[in-house]
Amino acid sequence: MKIFAAITVIGRDQTGVVARVTGFLFEQRANIEGLEEKVTRGQFGMTIQASWPVTDCNETAIRGGLAALARALGMEIRIRFIEPRRRQRFAIMVTREPHCLEAIMAARRSGRLKADPVLVVGNRPELEPLARKHRLPFVHLPWADRARAENRALRLLEKHEIDFVVLARFMKILSPNFVWRYKNKIINIHPSLLPSFPGPQAYRQAYEHGVKIVGVTAHFVSMHLDEGPIIAQGSFDVRSGMSLKDIVATGQALEARVLVKAIRLFLTKRLDVYWGTVKEV
């Protein structure tokens, strides 16, 4: 039997962080099963997957030691102990379009999603009735002050022990500070075949360019807008005479299907991100 934990380290870049954190974990008899670190514009982020034999895990000493190390480094270090066989818990972030949220709820009811949505966060209040209909708590977080809103959202995600986040047509940009805490665990749906037509008006851009194939892309959120590693895509032919309204309606139905497909792929635990590309392993 093993005890598992996920550890995140975030702060201004400085020398020796990896060595000090991993050295401490070695002293605590941890086995490091996965480690990823990156520096973006002077911001250091690291995620570690660690495990211990049950007899070697002193949770109090581990938490206390990491807290002391965080103070010494002037960084944020968080640890969450994980039951590997429990169902994944996820949060859904929305704005006002209901189709993706409805598709996720339908997939959950049918048993096609082997995970539990536990929270809906909206930067607008319009979808609260839909969340309540499905007996999910809804929290309205206005996004005028992004830093404040993100801090509140992160506290909610920690409180509800969220494993991953789904952006179900959430129309706000997340900062690197937010993304680092859920690296390759935030799934977004974008209404174009990325890398074509990034940004909020993808269908209009496709329509105005006269493209003959329109698609959607589910991807992990990265530090750069609409450039994260691609999980799944879908497309449809633009028929003669289709209006922008027709394209949007067809695209939204496809968005819902592809987003659910991406969540299901994620839950297989067979996806790996290697040099910015998602591979099935």
Query: Residues with Cβ < 8 Å from 225, sequence gap 6 or more?
Result: 173, 198, 199
Selection from 60, 15, 6, 61 nearest residue 34 by Cα? 6
The catalytic position among 13, 163, 226, 246 is 226
Cα-to-chain-centroid distance, residue 154: 12
Other CB atoms closer than 10 Å to residue 36's CB: what's the count? 12
| Exposure of 133 in the CB half-sphere (CA atoms within 13 A) | 11
**Residue 226 is a catalytic residue:** yes
Establish whether the linkage from the previous residue to 195 is cis, with ω within 30° of 0.
yes
Two structure tokens written together for 61: 């000493």
Alpha helices in the chain (DSSP H): 17-27, 59-73, 99-110, 128-133, 146-159, 176-181, 202-209, 244-267
243: burial class by Cβ within 10 Å (0-12, 13-18, 19+)? exposed
Residues known to be catalytic: 226
